[in-house]
Amino acid sequence: MPHHDPDLPFIRPVEPADLDAIVALEQRCFDRDAQTRRSLRYLLTRANAITLAAEQPGRLVGYLTLLLRRGARTARVYSIAVDAAARGQGLAAGLLAAAEDRATRLGCNRMVCEVRESNRASLALFAGHGYQRKRDLPAYYPGGEDGVRLEKRLD
């Protein structure tokens, strides 16, 4: 078994037993946009989605869901969240890098995601990882907020 420093966070695929922790994290991180337990459970078991967890000793503190489509070379970051107490430590950056690595190994050549124009932390995260603004999405979100489609080539 590979050695892992117990004080460091690490990134691993989620397991069905993580559902409660992910639902709780989702509710803490997204107020109006939180996905329901039912849809999170579905996401965790879907064949064409990969969810990665960031874990600190004994605790799930972040997750990222990547959506893939059969035969498509574009992977979509569907959701990413890190617990407020664990932010600013590079966990989202680690999740994103791990997701890009997975997508590349599955033959994808492009990552896309949609972000609210008001979400400065998220926009900075993706910009810092080489994602570019591809398209404005006027009134994309419920309530009418604008979004933006971001994109990164993986090759």
Ligand X SMILES: CC(C)(COP(=O)(O)OP(=O)(O)OC[C@H]1O[C@@H](n2cnc3c(N)ncnc32)[C@H](O)[C@@H]1OP(=O)(O)O)[C@@H](O)C(=O)NCCC(=O)NCCS
Stretch that binds ligand X, among 13-21, 39-47, 68-76, 122-130 (CB under 6 A): 122-130
Structure tokens at 10: 């690490």
Q: Which is nearer to ligand X, 24 or 107 (CB)?
A: 24
CA angle 41, 1, 96 (to 5 degrees): 45
Question: In this chain, which of 52, 75, 115, 148 binds ligand X, going by CB under 6 A?
Answer: 115
User: 1-40: which residues touch ligand X (CB under 6 A)?
Assistant: 29-30
Residue 150 Cβ, how far from ligand X at the closest point, in Å? Answer: 9
Question: In this chain, which of 41, 74, 78, 122 binds ligand X, going by CB under 6 A?
Answer: 122
Q: Is 125 in the site for ligand X (CB under 6 A)?
A: yes
Q: What residue type is assigned to position 143 of the chain?
A: G
Number of residues that bind ligand X (CB under 6 A): 20
Q: What residue type is assigned to position 153 of the chain?
A: R
